[in-house]
């Protein structure tokens, strides 16, 4: 597995461990003894709902962290070879590099804009290799499958996800929303005060939350795999400058 895939599975394993806890609490409640231990505190419905709501926050964090790592991996790959100049980048990724170097996405006064423009010009005149840069993530707390596809298109590749996985992640769950969109809606409801943690966690049990998590994980695994291919095949470099594929010699 790749580093991107390893990191993703590590984060998802934490969510699975949390879901196991929710399973255990739900089993205690069903047994008729909603108590932690023989003499422990009683488990209330309010506490269960608060516990359940944490799954939505963890899943949203998983989505955003996965997108961030994928974009960071692309920018690091683009500056990994000293011989690659800005002109070797595809038009889409070169635009991202220029935005970073010239700070075109940041508010600034005339003097600062001139300073950034001169810095970019000096870099190009000196024919320096691609300098360290970050791809602007955007998203604004709204990372769902549509936003992920848009950012992939912005940096120059067509994100392909299997029909079965895409169908599942778009399958309507509640309020006419699919898995990713529902997570965004509930996360933002919590962040902006529209929902309490009790409100957020009142509609789903352990089984439904686990199914939701599996749908999201299946989608993100394919996103990570697509980014891995994009990087391994140097699709961020113009075709004429891409390294030749390494031939595999049979033993």
Element at 203 (helix H, strand E)? none
pLDDT above 60: residue 248:
no
pTM of the model: 0.86
Q: In this structure, is residue 75 part of a structural domain?
A: yes
Q: In this structure, is residue 111 part of a structural domain?
A: no
Contact 70, 223 (CB under 8 A): yes
Q: In this structure, is residue 45 part of a structural domain?
A: yes
Contact 89, 238 (CB under 8 A): yes
pLDDT above 60: residue 249:
no
Q: Greater confidence, 212 or 93?
A: 212
Instruction: Count the helices and strands in the chain (H runs, E runs).
Output: 9, 0
| Counted domains in the chain | 1
Quickly state the pLDDT bin for 56 (edges 50, 70, 90): very high
Q: In this structure, is residue 19 part of a structural domain?
A: yes
Contact 4, 224 (CB under 8 A): yes
Q: Greater confidence, 42 or 214?
A: 214
Q: In this structure, is residue 133 part of a structural domain?
A: no
Q: In this structure, is residue 128 part of a structural domain?
A: no
Q: In this structure, is residue 113 part of a structural domain?
A: no
Q: In this structure, is residue 90 part of a structural domain?
A: no
Domain that holds residue 212: 3-83+142-241
């Amino acid at each position: 597995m790749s580093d991107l895939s390893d990191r993703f599975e590590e984060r998802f394993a934490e969510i699975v461990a949390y879901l196991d806890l929710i399973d255990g609490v739900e089993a205690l409640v069903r047994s008729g003894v909603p108590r932690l231990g023989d003499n422990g505190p009683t488990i209330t419905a309010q506490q269960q709902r608060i516990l359940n709501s944490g799954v939505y926050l963890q899943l949203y964090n998983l989505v955003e962290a996965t997108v961030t790592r994928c974009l960071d991996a692309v920018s690091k790959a683009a500056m990994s070879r000293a011989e690659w100049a800005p002109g070797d980048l595809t038009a889409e990724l070169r635009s991202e590099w220029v935005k970073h170097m010239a700070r075109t996405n940041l508010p600034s006064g005339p003097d600062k804009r001139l300073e950034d423009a001169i810095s970019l010009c000096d870099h190009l005149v000196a024919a320096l290799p691609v300098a360290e840069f970050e791809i602007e993530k955007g998203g604004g707390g709204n990372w769902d499958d549509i936003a992920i596809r848009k950012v992939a298109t912005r940096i120059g590749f067509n994100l392909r996800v299997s029909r079965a996985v895409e169908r599942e992640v778009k399958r309507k769950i509640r309020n006419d929303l699919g898995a990713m969109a529902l997570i965004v809606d509930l996360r933002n409801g919590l962040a902006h005060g529209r929902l309490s943690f009790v409100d957020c966690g009142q509609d789903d049990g352990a089984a439904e939350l686990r199914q939701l998590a599996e749908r999201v994980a299946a989608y993100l695994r394919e996103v990570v795999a697509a980014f891995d291919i994009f990087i391994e095949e140097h699709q961020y470099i113009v075709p004429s400058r891409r390294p030749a594929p390494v031939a595999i010699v049979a033993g």
